[in-house]
């Protein structure tokens, strides 16, 4: 394989983790890569670290851009790509040494334009993932079933390798939050099939103060979910049950996060509660729906406050064995500084 892979790394206010991230990329067993680091201008700590790596490794390309959000940074990265394939890595995450080799080899052998791998959820004291090494080629509608039923990979950008041409004429919508999901769908809909290796290769760092956990982001993500599912329902007749499952599960997730952040009330979460009650009876008939979700739906419909007590108790038990990282970044303030709007 002589194909060149461009790895776009978004770096801003993550000096605490960036060396671990860049080291994991430098160590890749597949060597024909370029490492495009888009650094938020003015973040001197990160700028200095990236400059240090670039001085030692000619594969680095450093772009220092005004910090205007993740979408703007990714667009700067896309504009600099010279490779045949594109991968994305967030600056506070890391990847397995062979991730690029595994993805590229699968894409070449199976003649697919998108290659996907599994992920670890990385905590301070452990990593949740799988060593299963099962490779399968999926028609795109079957890939969306895995996504919607949340049985493996999801609408992330960073667990996938893309043929460069898929981004021709496509750029991220700038100045907005939660742009990833809709962009991922747009790119996935360009192909008829993809290859998926279930082995966990990407380490997604779980932080207590992650921007993805801001309540506003969760509700924006739910809004995006409805739009995505509307588009998929028009294109694929066989996704009806999967879409039903997905939207109920996403509404439940918003409710549970309201529990966790102390914001829940029947008035505050009325729309999500009503949605679950209206659609749960149909979703529960789907044999693909796990029993655990059926129990959640029942609790939510019968007694939201019982659902709250169970959710909080399970979360407490989980946190006893899983310690999240702390980045120390106030993401609400950061988004405001960057002029990123909470709208779609």
Domain count, the chain: 2
Pick the last residue of a domain from 183, 205, 227.
205
pLDDT tens-digit profile of 294-333?
A: 999 999 999 999 999 999 999 999 999 999 998 765 545 5
Is residue 156 domain-shared with residue 266, that is, in the same domain? Answer: no
Is residue 197 domain-shared with residue 292, that is, in the same domain? Answer: no
Q: In angstroms, what CA-CA distances link 229 with 172, 221, 272, 303? A: 20, 12, 16, 28
Q: What pLDDT is stored for residue 55 in this prediction?
A: 98
Q: What pLDDT is stored for residue 343 in this prediction?
A: 42
| Summary mean pLDDT of the chain | 91
193 class by beta-carbon count within 10 Å (0-12 exposed, 13-18 middle, 19+ buried)? middle
Q: What pLDDT is stored for residue 261 in this prediction?
A: 87
CATH number at residue 118: 3.90.550.10
Q: What pLDDT is stored for residue 337 in this prediction?
A: 59
The predicted model scores a pTM of: 0.91
Is residue 271 situated within a structural domain? yes
Q: What pLDDT is stored for residue 331 in this prediction?
A: 44
Is residue 194 domain-shared with residue 250, that is, in the same domain? Answer: no
pLDDT tens-digit profile of 114-147?
A: 999 999 999 999 999 988 889 999 999 999 999 9
In this predicted structure, the answer to whether residue 278 has a pLDDT above a threshold of 60 is yes
Is residue 178 domain-shared with residue 259, that is, in the same domain? Answer: no
Is residue 338 situated within a structural domain? no
Pick the last residue of a domain from 150, 171, 205.
205
Cα 241 vs. chain centroid, distance in angstroms?
Answer: 23
26 class by beta-carbon count within 10 Å (0-12 exposed, 13-18 middle, 19+ buried)? middle
Parent domain of 91: 5-205
Strand partners, 115: 161, 195
326 or 262, which is more confident? 262
pLDDT tens-digit profile of 152-166?
A: 999 999 999 999 999
334 — pLDDT class (breaks 50, 70, 90):
low
Is residue 134 situated within a structural domain? yes
């Amino acid at each position: 394989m002589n194909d060149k892979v461009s790895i776009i790394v978004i770096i801003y206010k993550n000096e605490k983790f960036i060396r671990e991230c860049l080291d994991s990329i430098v160590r890749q067993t597949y060597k024909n890569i370029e490492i495009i680091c888009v650094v938020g201008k003015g973040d001197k700590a990160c700028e200095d670290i990236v400059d240090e790596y670039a001085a030692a490794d000619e594969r680095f390309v450093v772009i220092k851009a005004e910090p205007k959000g993740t979408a703007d940074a990714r667009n700067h990265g896309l504009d600099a790509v010279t490779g045949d394939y594109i991968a994305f890595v967030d600056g506070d995450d890391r990847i397995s040494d062979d991730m690029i080799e595994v993805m590229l080899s699968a894409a070449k052998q199976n003649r697919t334009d998108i290659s996907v791998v599994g992920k670890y959820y990385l905590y301070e004291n452990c990593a949740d993932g799988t060593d299963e090494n099962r490779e399968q080629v999926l028609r795109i509608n079957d890939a969306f079933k895995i996504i919607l039923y949340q049985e493996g990979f999801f609408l992330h950008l960073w667990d996938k390798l893309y043929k460069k041409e898929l981004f021709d004429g496509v750029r991220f919508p700038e100045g907005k939050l939660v742009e990833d999901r809709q962009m991922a769908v747009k790119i996935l809909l360009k192909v008829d099939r993809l290859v998926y290796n279930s082995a966990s290769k990407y380490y997604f760092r779980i932080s207590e103060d992650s921007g993805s956990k801001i309540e506003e982001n969760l509700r924006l993500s739910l809004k995006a979910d409805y739009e995505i599912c509307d588009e998929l329902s028009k294109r694929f007749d066989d996704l009806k049950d999967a879409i039903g499952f997905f939207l109920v599960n996403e509404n439940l997730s918003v409710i549970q996060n309201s529990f966790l952040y102390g914001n829940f009330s029947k008035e505050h979460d009325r729309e999500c509660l009503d949605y679950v009650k209206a659609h749960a009876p149909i979703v529960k008939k789907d044999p693909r729906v796990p029993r655990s979700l059926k129990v959640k739906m029942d609790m939510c419909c019968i007694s939201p406050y019982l659902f709250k007590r169970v959710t909080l108790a399970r979360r407490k038990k989980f946190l006893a064995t899983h310690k999240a990282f702390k980045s120390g970044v106030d993401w609400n303030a950061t988004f405001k500084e960057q002029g990123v709007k909470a709208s779609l």
